[in-house]
Amino acid sequence: MLLVDSDVLIWYMRGNERAYDFIEGLAGFSISVITYMELVQGMRNKRELYKLRQSLHRWNARIVYLTEEISAKAMFFVEQRYLSHSVEIADALIGASAVACGFPLLTGNDKHYKAMSGVEIKKFSP
């Protein structure tokens, strides 16, 4: 299983061929609830939101909800790395979700996660 970061799905929705081929080639994947909320915030209307929900279902995408373990790991990442690497809250929660689930994180924004110990990054290049 793989945890897919927001940027990859945004490229998919914008018509990026590499993102399309990669996502469509997966039998299923997971996203953080943070990723889901970031995607929803980018929707312009209810029709786009409906299409997003349909796509997630078709892709067999599973949403990883926040747990105490994920929250604690994210809090650690922010405490340990915010001043030196500007780790943002959303990225800390997504990275912590990947670690807690034991999933590699597919992202094009690998620099956001390199400072987080235990995050296995699978680099995506659009």
Closest to 97 in 3D by CA, of 61, 124, 68: 68
pLDDT of residue 38: 97
pTM score: 0.94
Going residue by residue through the chain (126 aa), what tens digit of pLDDT does each one get? 999 999 999 999 999 999 999 999 999 999 999 999 999 999 999 999 999 999 999 999 999 999 999 999 999 999 987 666 678 999 999 999 999 999 999 999 999 899 899 999 999 999
CA separation, residue 39 to residues 10, 23, 32, 35, 77 (Å): 8, 16, 11, 6, 23
The answer to whether the CB of 1 falls within 8 A of the CB of 28 is yes
pLDDT of residue 85: 64
Strands lying side by side in the sheet with 29-32: 61-64, 29-32, 3-4, 105-107, 121-123
How does the average pLDDT of the chain come out, rounded?
95
pLDDT of residue 105: 98
What single string gives the DSSP state of each residue in 9-74?
HHHHHTT-HHHHHHHHT-S-EEEEHHHHHHHHHT--SHHHHHHHHHHHHHTTEEEE---HHHHHHH
